[in-house]
Amino acid sequence: MIKLRPWNYIKINECHEPLISIPNSIFRLTPHPYMSLGAPYLTGADPWVLRRSVVKRLIRAQQYLSKINPQLQLALFDAWRPISVQKFMFNYTIQQTCKSKGIDINDLSVNESINDVIEEVGLFWAKPSTDPLTPPPHSTGAAIDLTLADMTSKPLDLGGEIDFIGPESSPDFYKKDHFKISGSKHQVFQDRRSLLFSVMEQAGFVQHPHEWWHFSYGDQLWSWLTNKGDAIYGAALEVSNDITLLEPSLVT
């Protein structure tokens, strides 16, 4: 069973800010990774949307990066994610992690091992909850997964793949003493991660404690890390081709 995270207890006071398209001036990694896997987006759904204030801060982060290093740009991996997609990817990741560990997910005799995998995956993938009190971050339009790329659109190596389940995904993994060799590839990885964190933090984002690529503004994690009071974004659910905002304030 996946335990609630500390930030899941933060109250949400939905501000009703709309989801808007991320401008094409922000580079996107294509094809979209989850669409390519067959994740159940509704026909015509656009995963490249975020809350309006989040988009403004993302643009600001790109501007900060351009001033520091004009040879680099942000590279978007994923943005808004319907809960149906969250569920698909959550289950897909459990299946793939079991497979990589040689665990037969259909073998009831290894339930303990499967539960360990589910707990491990739960450190990275939020439970696909439809409870308005505990929305998955990406379903709110507040969260973005991204990395760095050069101006030829080639992603940089930050020492770990996005969505990798393992300790290397921790933002500070390469800060460990045995990696501190000046000029080493590990130092390069940490410098790049630190640069990404710096420009996103300047723009008002917070970073997920287990994922170097995940940043958000206005959701429960943001509220918990910044002590700014209530979260301002709840889940945005897709209905046909429309986006409907849930009302967590009505049930808190």
- Which pLDDT score is estimated for 252? 33
- Which pLDDT score is estimated for 251? 35
- Which pLDDT score is estimated for 246? 63
Q: What are the extents of the domains in the chain?
A: 6-250
Close Cβ partners of 93 (under 8 Å, ≥ 6 residues apart): 121, 124, 125, 163, 165
Q: Mean pLDDT of successive 10-residue segments in the chain (252 residues)?
A: 83 95 96 95 90 97 98 98 94 91 82 87 90 95 98 97 95 81 85 97 97 98 95 83 58 34
Burial class of residue 14 in the structure, from the number of CB atoms within 10 Å of its CB (0-12 exposed, 13-18 middle, 19+ buried) = buried
**What's the CATH number of domain 6-250, 3.10.110.10, 3.20.20.70, 3.30.1380.10, 3.40.50.720?**
3.30.1380.10
Query: Annotated active-site positions, please?
Result: 211
- Which pLDDT score is estimated for 58? 98
- Which pLDDT score is estimated for 178? 63
What span, in angstroms and rounded, lies between the C-alpha atoms of 77 and 27? 9
